[in-house]
Amino acid sequence: MRASRLTFVRVARGSTPSTAVLRPGVNEVSPFLTAHAAGLQVRADEGSAANASFKEGADLQLMEDIRSGSDADFLAAADGLGKRLVDEMNKVPRPAPGLFVCTTLVSDTVPADRLAVVLKLEVVSEQGAVLELLDNGEETLTAVTDVLDRPGDLQKGLVFPDVRPASQAVVGDKAAQQEARYFLRGMGVTLQARETRSAAALVTAIDARAGRAIAERVLEELPAVSSGSTTVVLDALQRTVPGLSEEAASRVAEDLVKAERPVGQIDTAAPVTGKMRAGALTVTGPAGEIHRIRSERDPEGGWLVSFRSDLEPTVTWR
Protein backbone atom coordinates (compact mmCIF):
# COMPACT_ATOMS: atom_id res chain seq x y z
CA MET A 1 0.00 0.00 0.00
CA ARG A 2 1.03 3.63 -0.37
CA ALA A 3 0.03 6.94 1.20
CA SER A 4 -2.21 8.92 -1.15
CA ARG A 5 -2.74 12.06 0.94
CA LEU A 6 -1.34 13.50 4.12
CA THR A 7 -1.94 16.23 6.63
CA PHE A 8 -0.28 17.01 9.93
CA VAL A 9 -0.38 19.70 12.59
CA ARG A 10 1.74 20.39 15.65
CA VAL A 11 0.02 19.56 18.92
CA ALA A 12 1.03 20.52 22.45
CA ARG A 13 -0.59 21.26 25.76
CA GLY A 14 -2.16 24.73 25.62
CA SER A 15 -1.63 25.09 21.87
CA THR A 16 -4.12 25.91 19.13
CA PRO A 17 -3.63 23.55 16.17
CA SER A 18 -3.30 25.20 12.78
CA THR A 19 -5.90 24.44 10.11
CA ALA A 20 -5.24 21.11 8.42
CA VAL A 21 -4.12 21.33 4.78
CA LEU A 22 -3.00 18.72 2.30
CA ARG A 23 0.76 18.42 2.61
CA PRO A 24 3.15 17.98 -0.33
CA GLY A 25 5.82 15.30 -0.44
CA VAL A 26 3.48 12.45 0.42
CA ASN A 27 5.30 10.08 -1.96
CA GLU A 28 8.63 10.69 -0.21
CA VAL A 29 7.27 9.87 3.25
CA SER A 30 4.92 7.11 2.11
CA PRO A 31 7.33 4.27 3.12
CA PHE A 32 7.64 5.80 6.61
CA LEU A 33 3.86 6.06 7.01
CA THR A 34 3.07 2.61 5.63
CA ALA A 35 5.73 1.11 7.89
CA HIS A 36 3.97 2.62 10.91
CA ALA A 37 0.66 1.12 9.76
CA ALA A 38 2.29 -2.25 9.15
CA GLY A 39 3.86 -2.16 12.61
CA LEU A 40 0.45 -1.65 14.19
CA GLN A 41 -1.11 -4.43 12.13
CA VAL A 42 1.65 -6.83 13.21
CA ARG A 43 0.59 -6.24 16.82
CA ALA A 44 -2.95 -7.26 15.90
CA ASP A 45 -1.73 -10.36 14.05
CA GLU A 46 0.41 -11.52 16.96
CA GLY A 47 -2.31 -10.81 19.52
CA SER A 48 -0.57 -8.00 21.41
CA ALA A 49 -3.10 -5.32 20.37
CA ALA A 50 -6.41 -5.29 22.21
CA ASN A 51 -9.71 -5.17 20.34
CA ALA A 52 -10.92 -1.59 19.91
CA SER A 53 -14.31 0.02 19.34
CA PHE A 54 -15.56 3.57 18.85
CA LYS A 55 -17.87 5.01 21.49
CA GLU A 56 -20.03 6.98 19.07
CA GLY A 57 -21.09 6.57 15.47
CA ALA A 58 -19.78 10.08 14.81
CA ASP A 59 -16.28 9.00 15.87
CA LEU A 60 -16.47 6.05 13.50
CA GLN A 61 -17.56 8.41 10.70
CA LEU A 62 -14.50 10.62 11.24
CA MET A 63 -12.29 7.60 10.60
CA GLU A 64 -14.34 6.71 7.54
CA ASP A 65 -13.87 10.26 6.24
CA ILE A 66 -10.10 9.90 6.61
CA ARG A 67 -10.22 6.49 4.92
CA SER A 68 -12.50 7.19 1.97
CA GLY A 69 -14.05 10.66 2.18
CA SER A 70 -13.40 13.56 -0.16
CA ASP A 71 -10.36 15.76 0.43
CA ALA A 72 -12.65 18.26 2.17
CA ASP A 73 -14.07 15.51 4.43
CA PHE A 74 -10.54 14.22 5.09
CA LEU A 75 -9.29 17.65 6.22
CA ALA A 76 -12.41 18.39 8.28
CA ALA A 77 -12.01 15.10 10.13
CA ALA A 78 -8.31 15.78 10.77
CA ASP A 79 -9.16 19.29 12.04
CA GLY A 80 -11.75 17.97 14.47
CA LEU A 81 -9.57 15.15 15.79
CA GLY A 82 -6.55 17.45 16.17
CA LYS A 83 -8.54 19.90 18.30
CA ARG A 84 -9.99 17.09 20.39
CA LEU A 85 -6.53 15.66 20.96
CA VAL A 86 -5.22 19.00 22.26
CA ASP A 87 -8.29 19.31 24.52
CA GLU A 88 -7.40 15.94 26.06
CA MET A 89 -3.70 16.87 26.30
CA ASN A 90 -4.74 19.93 28.31
CA LYS A 91 -6.21 17.60 30.96
CA VAL A 92 -2.97 15.74 31.75
CA PRO A 93 0.15 17.16 33.45
CA ARG A 94 3.03 16.73 31.00
CA PRO A 95 2.01 15.33 27.61
CA ALA A 96 4.85 15.34 25.10
CA PRO A 97 4.34 17.73 22.18
CA GLY A 98 4.49 16.29 18.70
CA LEU A 99 2.87 15.96 15.30
CA PHE A 100 -0.69 14.79 14.80
CA VAL A 101 -0.68 12.97 11.46
CA CYS A 102 -3.58 11.74 9.34
CA THR A 103 -3.06 9.84 6.10
CA THR A 104 -4.97 7.61 3.70
CA LEU A 105 -3.31 4.42 2.48
CA VAL A 106 -4.47 2.95 -0.81
CA SER A 107 -3.73 -0.16 -2.84
CA ASP A 108 -2.78 0.17 -6.49
CA THR A 109 -4.14 -3.31 -7.22
CA VAL A 110 -7.39 -3.30 -5.17
CA PRO A 111 -9.02 0.18 -5.36
CA ALA A 112 -11.45 -0.61 -2.55
CA ASP A 113 -8.61 -1.53 -0.20
CA ARG A 114 -8.07 1.69 1.76
CA LEU A 115 -6.95 2.45 5.31
CA ALA A 116 -7.16 5.45 7.58
CA VAL A 117 -4.00 5.93 9.65
CA VAL A 118 -3.88 8.38 12.56
CA LEU A 119 -0.62 8.91 14.45
CA LYS A 120 0.68 11.11 17.21
CA LEU A 121 4.41 11.22 16.54
CA GLU A 122 6.92 12.48 19.09
CA VAL A 123 10.53 13.53 18.86
CA VAL A 124 12.61 10.64 20.21
CA SER A 125 16.01 12.17 19.40
CA GLU A 126 17.00 15.79 18.79
CA GLN A 127 20.05 14.75 16.80
CA GLY A 128 20.57 11.96 14.27
CA ALA A 129 22.14 11.07 10.95
CA VAL A 130 21.21 9.18 7.80
CA LEU A 131 23.46 7.34 5.37
CA GLU A 132 22.98 8.54 1.78
CA LEU A 133 24.28 7.04 -1.46
CA LEU A 134 25.46 9.75 -3.84
CA ASP A 135 25.14 9.61 -7.62
CA ASN A 136 28.89 8.92 -7.92
CA GLY A 137 28.52 5.81 -5.77
CA GLU A 138 30.06 7.30 -2.64
CA GLU A 139 28.30 7.22 0.72
CA THR A 140 27.88 10.20 3.00
CA LEU A 141 26.37 10.91 6.39
CA THR A 142 23.75 13.65 6.52
CA ALA A 143 22.74 15.22 9.81
CA VAL A 144 19.06 15.26 10.74
CA THR A 145 17.29 16.81 13.71
CA ASP A 146 14.11 16.05 15.65
CA VAL A 147 13.96 12.36 14.75
CA LEU A 148 10.40 11.00 15.12
CA ASP A 149 9.12 7.66 16.42
CA ARG A 150 10.56 4.69 14.57
CA PRO A 151 8.02 2.31 12.96
CA GLY A 152 7.35 -0.51 15.38
CA ASP A 153 8.05 1.68 18.42
CA LEU A 154 5.01 3.92 18.01
CA GLN A 155 3.18 4.66 21.25
CA LYS A 156 0.07 6.47 19.99
CA GLY A 157 -1.58 5.56 16.72
CA LEU A 158 -4.38 3.64 15.06
CA VAL A 159 -5.30 1.99 11.78
CA PHE A 160 -8.90 1.78 10.58
CA PRO A 161 -10.58 -0.55 9.76
CA ASP A 162 -9.44 -3.73 11.50
CA VAL A 163 -9.76 -7.14 9.86
CA ARG A 164 -10.40 -8.76 13.24
CA PRO A 165 -14.17 -9.43 13.49
CA ALA A 166 -14.49 -8.23 17.10
CA SER A 167 -12.47 -5.04 16.60
CA GLN A 168 -13.03 -1.83 14.64
CA ALA A 169 -9.47 -0.50 14.70
CA VAL A 170 -5.92 -1.52 15.49
CA VAL A 171 -4.57 0.73 18.23
CA GLY A 172 -0.98 0.88 19.44
CA ASP A 173 -1.13 -1.01 22.69
CA LYS A 174 1.29 1.40 24.37
CA ALA A 175 -1.51 3.95 24.02
CA ALA A 176 -3.25 2.01 26.78
CA GLN A 177 -0.66 3.10 29.31
CA GLN A 178 -2.01 5.59 31.81
CA GLU A 179 0.08 8.50 30.53
CA ALA A 180 -1.02 7.93 26.92
CA ARG A 181 -4.76 7.47 27.37
CA TYR A 182 -5.46 11.02 26.31
CA PHE A 183 -4.89 9.79 22.75
CA LEU A 184 -7.62 7.18 23.14
CA ARG A 185 -10.04 9.73 24.55
CA GLY A 186 -9.23 12.20 21.79
CA MET A 187 -9.96 9.60 19.11
CA GLY A 188 -13.14 8.42 20.86
CA VAL A 189 -11.90 4.83 20.95
CA THR A 190 -12.15 2.26 23.72
CA LEU A 191 -9.76 -0.67 24.14
CA GLN A 192 -11.34 -3.89 25.29
CA ALA A 193 -9.63 -5.92 27.98
CA ARG A 194 -7.52 -8.70 26.50
CA GLU A 195 -9.11 -12.11 26.88
CA THR A 196 -5.90 -13.33 28.54
CA ARG A 197 -6.76 -10.99 31.44
CA SER A 198 -10.52 -11.50 31.37
CA ALA A 199 -10.69 -14.26 33.98
CA ALA A 200 -8.65 -12.18 36.40
CA ALA A 201 -10.94 -9.18 35.82
CA LEU A 202 -13.98 -11.39 36.47
CA VAL A 203 -12.63 -12.80 39.74
CA THR A 204 -11.57 -9.33 40.92
CA ALA A 205 -15.07 -7.96 40.25
CA ILE A 206 -16.71 -10.90 42.03
CA ASP A 207 -14.41 -10.43 45.01
CA ALA A 208 -15.47 -6.76 45.19
CA ARG A 209 -19.20 -7.50 44.93
CA ALA A 210 -19.61 -10.88 46.62
CA GLY A 211 -16.53 -11.30 48.82
CA ARG A 212 -13.39 -13.40 48.90
CA ALA A 213 -15.11 -16.68 49.76
CA ILE A 214 -17.33 -16.52 46.67
CA ALA A 215 -14.41 -15.43 44.50
CA GLU A 216 -12.44 -18.48 45.62
CA ARG A 217 -15.40 -20.75 44.80
CA VAL A 218 -15.54 -19.14 41.35
CA LEU A 219 -11.84 -19.88 40.87
CA GLU A 220 -12.56 -23.56 41.56
CA GLU A 221 -15.51 -23.75 39.17
CA LEU A 222 -14.27 -21.51 36.36
CA PRO A 223 -12.19 -24.14 34.45
CA ALA A 224 -15.33 -26.29 34.05
CA VAL A 225 -17.32 -23.42 32.50
CA SER A 226 -17.17 -22.81 28.75
CA SER A 227 -15.66 -19.54 27.56
CA GLY A 228 -18.14 -17.00 26.25
CA SER A 229 -19.69 -13.62 26.80
CA THR A 230 -19.54 -12.13 30.29
CA THR A 231 -23.28 -12.64 30.78
CA VAL A 232 -23.21 -16.28 29.64
CA VAL A 233 -20.27 -17.14 31.91
CA LEU A 234 -21.87 -15.44 34.91
CA ASP A 235 -25.15 -17.29 34.28
CA ALA A 236 -23.25 -20.59 34.27
CA LEU A 237 -21.39 -19.70 37.46
CA GLN A 238 -24.64 -18.89 39.27
CA ARG A 239 -25.72 -22.50 38.68
CA THR A 240 -22.51 -23.95 40.17
CA VAL A 241 -21.68 -21.40 42.86
CA PRO A 242 -24.76 -21.15 45.12
CA GLY A 243 -23.46 -18.08 46.96
CA LEU A 244 -23.24 -16.02 43.77
CA SER A 245 -26.59 -14.26 43.83
CA GLU A 246 -28.36 -12.86 40.79
CA GLU A 247 -27.98 -9.35 42.21
CA ALA A 248 -24.22 -9.76 42.70
CA ALA A 249 -23.80 -11.25 39.23
CA SER A 250 -25.73 -8.37 37.69
CA ARG A 251 -23.50 -5.83 39.44
CA VAL A 252 -20.38 -7.72 38.37
CA ALA A 253 -21.54 -7.68 34.75
CA GLU A 254 -22.20 -3.94 34.97
CA ASP A 255 -18.78 -3.30 36.54
CA LEU A 256 -17.05 -5.21 33.74
CA VAL A 257 -18.95 -3.41 30.98
CA LYS A 258 -18.23 0.00 32.49
CA ALA A 259 -14.57 -0.70 33.24
CA GLU A 260 -11.95 1.54 31.64
CA ARG A 261 -11.07 -1.48 29.52
CA PRO A 262 -14.45 -3.25 29.19
CA VAL A 263 -14.64 -7.03 29.44
CA GLY A 264 -17.05 -8.47 26.88
CA GLN A 265 -15.70 -12.02 26.57
CA ILE A 266 -14.36 -14.32 29.29
CA ASP A 267 -11.65 -16.86 28.53
CA THR A 268 -12.32 -19.24 31.39
CA ALA A 269 -8.95 -20.95 30.85
CA ALA A 270 -7.00 -17.70 31.13
CA PRO A 271 -4.56 -17.60 34.05
CA VAL A 272 -5.42 -15.75 37.25
CA THR A 273 -2.64 -14.57 39.53
CA GLY A 274 -3.25 -13.89 43.20
CA LYS A 275 -1.39 -11.71 45.65
CA MET A 276 -1.54 -11.79 49.45
CA ARG A 277 -0.01 -9.10 51.61
CA ALA A 278 0.73 -9.71 55.27
CA GLY A 279 2.55 -6.84 56.88
CA ALA A 280 5.86 -6.33 55.11
CA LEU A 281 5.60 -9.66 53.24
CA THR A 282 3.91 -10.24 49.88
CA VAL A 283 3.21 -13.63 48.32
CA THR A 284 2.36 -13.77 44.62
CA GLY A 285 1.49 -16.83 42.57
CA PRO A 286 -1.23 -18.73 40.68
CA ALA A 287 -4.63 -18.05 42.20
CA GLY A 288 -5.09 -21.72 43.09
CA GLU A 289 -1.94 -21.64 45.20
CA ILE A 290 -2.87 -18.39 46.88
CA HIS A 291 -6.23 -19.98 47.70
CA ARG A 292 -4.37 -22.62 49.74
CA ILE A 293 -2.81 -20.05 52.07
CA ARG A 294 -4.45 -20.12 55.47
CA SER A 295 -4.70 -17.18 57.84
CA GLU A 296 -6.10 -16.98 61.36
CA ARG A 297 -6.00 -14.55 64.20
CA ASP A 298 -3.21 -15.09 66.71
CA PRO A 299 -4.51 -15.04 70.32
CA GLU A 300 -1.37 -13.09 71.20
CA GLY A 301 -2.18 -10.46 68.56
CA GLY A 302 -1.92 -10.13 64.81
CA TRP A 303 -2.35 -12.96 62.34
CA LEU A 304 -0.83 -16.38 61.70
CA VAL A 305 -0.32 -17.13 57.97
CA SER A 306 0.68 -20.56 56.67
CA PHE A 307 0.81 -22.57 53.48
CA ARG A 308 2.15 -25.92 52.30
CA SER A 309 4.78 -26.40 49.60
CA ASP A 310 6.06 -29.57 47.98
CA LEU A 311 9.48 -27.94 47.64
CA GLU A 312 11.80 -26.74 50.37
CA PRO A 313 11.52 -22.95 50.78
CA THR A 314 14.55 -20.91 49.75
CA VAL A 315 15.54 -17.37 50.59
CA THR A 316 17.45 -14.90 48.42
CA TRP A 317 18.64 -11.40 49.31
CA ARG A 318 19.04 -8.26 47.27
Among 260, 101, 241, 102, residue whose Cα is nearest residue 191? 260
Does residue 224 sit in the same domain as residue 301?
A: no
SS3 content of the chain, % helix, strand, coil (to 5): 40, 25, 35
Does residue 31 sit in the same domain as residue 173?
A: yes
> What values do phi and psi take at 9, rounded to 5?
-140, 150
Domain that holds residue 86: 2-121+152-191
Q: Which region, left, alpha or beta, applies to residue 271 given φ > 0 means left and ψ of -120 to 50 means alpha?
A: beta
Does residue 96 sit in the same domain as residue 210?
A: no
Does residue 237 sit in the same domain as residue 169?
A: no
Q: Is the pTM of this model over 0.85?
A: no
Q: Could you tell me which residues come within 8 angstroms of residue 299 by beta carbon, excluding any fewer than 6 positions away?
A: none
How high is the pLDDT of residue 139? 65
Strands 294-297 and 281-286, how do they pair?
A: unpaired
Among 192, 190, 184, residue whose Cα is nearest residue 88? 184
How high is the pLDDT of residue 80? 96
Does residue 94 sit in the same domain as residue 37?
A: yes
Does residue 206 sit in the same domain as residue 301?
A: no
> How far from the centroid of its chain's Cα atoms is residue 146's Cα?
27
Does residue 157 sit in the same domain as residue 10?
A: yes
How high is the pLDDT of residue 111? 79
CB count in 10 Å sphere of residue 242: 9
Among 174, 179, 227, 203, residue whose Cα is nearest residue 291? 203
The count of structural domains within the chain is: 3
CB count in 10 Å sphere of residue 24: 8
d(C-alpha 122, C-alpha 125), whole Å: 9
How high is the pLDDT of residue 205? 94
> How far from the centroid of its chain's Cα atoms is residue 36's Cα?
16
What is the rounded radius of gyration, in angstroms, for the C-alpha atoms of the chain? 25
Series of mean pLDDT values for 10-residue runs along the chain (318 residues):
93 91 92 89 84 92 97 97 95 88 92 91 58 66 53 76 91 61 91 87 93 91 91 94 92 90 89 88 85 87 88 88
Does residue 200 sit in the same domain as residue 174?
A: no
| 163 within some domain | yes
DSSP state letters, 164-218: STT-S-EE-GGGGSGGGHHHHHHHTEEEPPPGGGHHHHHHHHHHHHH-HHHHHHH
